[in-house]
């Protein structure tokens, strides 16, 4: 990057020179270099924030997948429970309709 020496006004490449080749002045306090340093720090901060955001997103997605699996298990459990509950109710009613009142009463008494 080309900068201008604050002491003598010479223009030179700061990437290849550690000081002004004309007057030997240091450019550590050079306004242009300070601006680059600030921009570099801002870019570093931005990159770190983006990495943190990406890590948070990955953790969120992993947790979401885990919760989705748990919800699926609960749904399956609810369906199984509903089927069992309905079968316990439907079997005695079917026996009553079929005329086997004694068998239906035995089943109902065992449930209650």
* HEC string for the chain: CEEECCCCCCEEECCCCCECCCCCCECCCCHHHHHHHHHHHHHHHHHHHHHHHHHHHHHHHHHHHHHHHHHHHHHHHHHHHHHHHHHHHHHHHHHHHHCCHHHHHHHHHHHC
Confidence of residue 104 (pLDDT cuts 50, 70, 90): low
Q: What is the pLDDT of residues 29-72, one digit of tens each?
A: 555 555 565 666 778 888 999 999 999 999 999 999 999 999 99
- Angstrom distances, CA of residue 87 to CA of 78, 97, 105: 14, 15, 15
Confidence of residue 15 (pLDDT cuts 50, 70, 90): confident
Full-model pTM: 0.43
Confidence of residue 89 (pLDDT cuts 50, 70, 90): confident
Region 60-85: mean pLDDT is 94
Which pLDDT score is estimated for 74?
A: 96
């Amino acid at each position: 990057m080309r900068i201008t020496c604050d002491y003598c006004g010479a223009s030179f490449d700061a990437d290849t020179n550690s000081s002004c080749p004309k007057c030997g002045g240091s450019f550590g306090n050079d306004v242009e270099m300070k601006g680059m340093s600030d921009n570099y720090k801002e870019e570093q901060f931005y990159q770190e924030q983006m990495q943190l955001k990406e890590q948070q997103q990955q953790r969120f997605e992993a947790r979401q997948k885990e919760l989705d699996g748990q919800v699926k298990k609960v749904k399956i459990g609810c369906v199984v429970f509903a089927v069992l509950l309905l079968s316990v109710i439907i079997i005695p009613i079917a026996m009553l309709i079929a005329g086997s009142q004694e068998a239906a009463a035995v089943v109902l008494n065992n449930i209650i």
